[in-house]
Amino acid sequence: MLDARRTQAEALALTGALVLTLAIAAPARAGVPHTVEPGETLWSIAVASNLTTGALAAANGLPEDAYVVAGSTVEVPSEAEAATALGLPGEAPSAAQPVVATAPDVVASPAEPQAATGYATSAEIGQIAAAHGVAPDLAAALAWQESGFNNGLVSSANASGVMQILPGTWSWVQANLAGHTLNPDSPQDNVHAGVLYLARLIDDAGGDESLGVAAYYQGASSVASDG
């Protein structure tokens, strides 16, 4: 009877050791590539993957506010890979476990800037662009380059808003293209004005997006004379 108990105990111990060995030897789940869809941001991809924006950005060598272009590939890391990218031991913080900010007793949750705070979103810009025949990715990339989607930004040349529109250009778009009164304090209306102007420039360039964007930056007459 004693031998039987000893044999049973040894078997249980062996089983436990085997399970532990397998658990240690099992490879961690590897990251997977994700193709960015129109309207997606680092924030939305991170939330869908149960990661923080910081973890996803760090794993891809990007700043947290980086703009990702539709069609490009973002590596969605495993928790272990994200932790390594952040320089943290163990698992990376997930979207369900917000990262504690540097200020005491403050918790920072990932969030994309919303229009109510003076920002347009990439999804809004894409929708407005598509409605006016402009490639959503092109409009969003231009807006990000110009202002970081910030409607409160005013340049030294007095260009303002998400699309960085000069006062004279705003007046011309309002009089000739808008069809209704646009509010310069509205991020969406600023995007409307910029997209309408960009669409006109692309059309004037015979559909050439590169020339249209160049004209947006330096003026149509400058592109015509200098290229």
**Strand ranges in 103-190 using DSSP code E only, listed in sequence order:** 107-108
The pair of structure tokens assigned to 115 is: 């229009």
> What CATH number has the domain bearing residue 198?
1.10.530.10
pTM over 0.75: no
> 58, 23 in Cβ contact below 8 A?
no
Query: In terms of domains, do 213 and 130 share one?
Result: yes
Q: How far is residue 68's CA from residue 141's CA, in Å, rounded to a whole number?
A: 9
Closest CA to 161 of 131, 119, 116, 217: 119
Among 91, 112, 133, the domain boundary falls at: 112
Query: In terms of domains, do 122 and 70 share one?
Result: no
> 134, 199 in Cβ contact below 8 A?
yes
> 139, 147 in Cβ contact below 8 A?
no
User: Distance of CA 182 to CAs 118, 146, 192, Å?
Assistant: 15, 20, 8
> 109, 54 in Cβ contact below 8 A?
no
Q: How far is residue 109's CA from residue 159's CA, in Å, rounded to a whole number?
A: 32
Q: How far is residue 115's CA from residue 107's CA, in Å, rounded to a whole number?
A: 22
Q: Which domain holds residue 139?
A: 116-226
> What CATH number has the domain bearing residue 85?
3.10.350
Given this model, what pLDDT does residue 163 score? 95
Query: In terms of domains, do 218 and 136 share one?
Result: yes
Count of domains for the chain: 2
Query: In terms of domains, do 51 and 108 share one?
Result: yes
Question: 61 — alpha (psi -120 to 50), left (phi > 0) or beta?
Answer: left
Query: In terms of domains, do 187 and 219 share one?
Result: yes
Q: pLDDT digit of tens for each residue in the chain (227 aa)? A: 444 444 444 544 444 443 334 334 434 456 789 988 876 777 778 878 888 877 888 888 888 777 777 778 888 888 888 777 766 554 444 444 443 333 333 333 334 444 334 889 988 999 999 999 999 999 999 998 888 888 988 888 899 999 999 999 999 999 999 989 999 899 999 999 999 999 999 999 999 999 999 999 887 776 666 65
